[in-house]
């Protein structure tokens, strides 16, 4: 497998960014000055988040797209960070329907990763500590009011802004993001190893089943033809990932990361196609949700 180091850049103009990183299939880049004015960079320590929001409940998984999660209190999870070999308090739920499980799933080889906190939804004041859209690229989500963003997130079953916390070794396995969104990872605490693959390498990635850190080339022989774009993402750095790029991310230290998915003129048609596919579900929700109807009715604000 060939490897290429992901470039680090600063002072990017929007035109330069579009030319070098959005044109065609795009190209990942680390922007080193994107978070310079974020209060979160200095403010969001592990102790601060635990003391401020520890009474929340969230779900911790042994990686993205796992079948089960552990429902736990956020303060209990922060205690777990420093000793991830111990049992995490809480109980198991199925990710498919969020119902309790009678027994535990098979043991995993990675620690619990707090990916189901929904911190920005529960605490909108957290947006005040970040700049929701990066300075170097257009983000059309900001043109929508909070209700429209809620509708989009309900249709996708995903958050557009997420706050992830995990110990060393926590893993997001190889995947692409939903509905052809662009994305960034903004690193607040700790370091992460990131491996990215171009959409043109999809035939060599076996639908994400191959482990790019330890590939089984007998099962996944074509993987050796792939090219990995790699980096260690440092605190205060932002990694931009174009739509449809595969990525696997592993924490090298206990970490706090903001993930943001978004669209603009380069991918809006593809993203809206995903939302249109959810119209029957949205219509049913509109029939039950008076707040949605009241907020979006003509003549209201």
pLDDT tens digits, residue range 91-101? 999 988 889 99
Mean pLDDT score, 61-78: 91
Range of the domain at 118: 2-145+156-273
pLDDT at 291 over 90: no
Q: Which of 47, 73, 44, 79 is nearest to 59 (CA)?
A: 73
Tally of domains in the chain: 1
Mean of per-residue pLDDT scores for the chain: 94
Confidence of residue 157 (pLDDT cuts 50, 70, 90): confident
Residue range 173-205, pLDDT digits in tens: 999 999 999 999 999 999 999 999 999 999 999
151: in domain: no
Q: Is residue 199 classed exposed, middle or buried when 0-12, 13-18 and 19+ CB atoms within 10 A define those classes?
A: middle
Q: What is the DSSP string of 15-42?
A: HHHIIIIISTT---EEETTTTTT-THHH
CA dihedral in degrees (159, 81, 167, 153; nearest 10)? 0
pLDDT at 296 over 80: no
pLDDT at 114 over 70: yes
Query: Distance between CA 161 and CA 78 in Å, rounded?
Result: 20
Give the CATH number of the domain where residue 24 resides. Answer: 2.60.120.650
Q: Check if the beta carbon of residue 74 is closer than 8 Å to that of residue 68.
A: no
293: in domain: no
286: in domain: no
234: in domain: yes
Mean pLDDT score, 5-18: 97
pLDDT at 240 over 60: yes
The model's pTM: 0.94
Q: Check if the beta carbon of residue 66 is closer than 8 Å to that of residue 53.
A: no
220: in domain: yes
112: in domain: yes
Residue range 19-61, pLDDT digits in tens: 999 999 999 999 999 999 999 999 999 999 999 999 999 999 9
The three-state secondary structure class of 163 is strand
**How much of the chain exceeds pLDDT 70, in percent?**
98
126: in domain: yes
Confidence of residue 171 (pLDDT cuts 50, 70, 90): very high
Q: Check if the beta carbon of residue 169 is closer than 8 Å to that of residue 191.
A: no
111: in domain: yes
pLDDT at 299 over 60: no
Mean pLDDT score, 121-140: 94
Residue range 262-279, pLDDT digits in tens: 999 999 999 999 999 999
- pLDDT at residue 74, as a whole number: 98
């Amino acid at each position: 497998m060939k490897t290429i180091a992901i470039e680090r850049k600063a002072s990017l103009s929007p035109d330069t960014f579009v030319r070098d990183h959005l044109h065609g299939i795009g190209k990942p880049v680390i922007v080193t000055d994107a978070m310079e004015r974020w209060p979160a960079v200095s403010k969001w320590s592990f102790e601060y988040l635990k003391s401020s929001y520890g009474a929340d409940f969230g779900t911790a998984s042994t990686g993205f797209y796992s079948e089960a999660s552990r429902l736990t209190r956020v303060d209990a999870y922060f205690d777990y960070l420093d000793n991830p070999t111990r049992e995490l308090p809480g109980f198991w739920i199925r990710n498919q329907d969020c119902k309790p499980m009678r027994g535990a799933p098979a043991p995993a080889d990675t620690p619990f990763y707090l990916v189901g906190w929904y911190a920005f939804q529960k605490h909108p004041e957290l947006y005040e500590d970040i700049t929701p859209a990066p300075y170097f690229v257009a983000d059309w989500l900001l043109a929508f009011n909070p209700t429209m963003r809620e509708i989009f997130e309900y249709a996708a079953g995903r958050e557009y802004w997420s706050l992830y916390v995990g110990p060393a070794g926590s893993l997001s396995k190889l995947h692409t993001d939903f509905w052809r969104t662009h994305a960034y990872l903004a690193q607040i605490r700790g370091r992460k190893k990131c491996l990215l693959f171009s959409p043109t390498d999809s035939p060599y990635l076996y639908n994400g089943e191959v482990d790019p850190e330890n590939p089984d080339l007998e099962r996944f022989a074509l993987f050796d033809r792939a090219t990995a774009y790699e980096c260690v993402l440092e605190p205060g750095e932002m990694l931009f990932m174009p739509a449809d790029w595969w990525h696997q991310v592993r924490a090298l230290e206990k970490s706090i990361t903001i993930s943001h998915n978004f669209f603009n003129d380069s991918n809006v048609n593809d993203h809206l196609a995903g939302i249109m596919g959810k119209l029957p579900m949205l219509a049913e929700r509109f029939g039950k949700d008076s707040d949605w109807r009241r907020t979006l009715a003509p003549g209201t604000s």
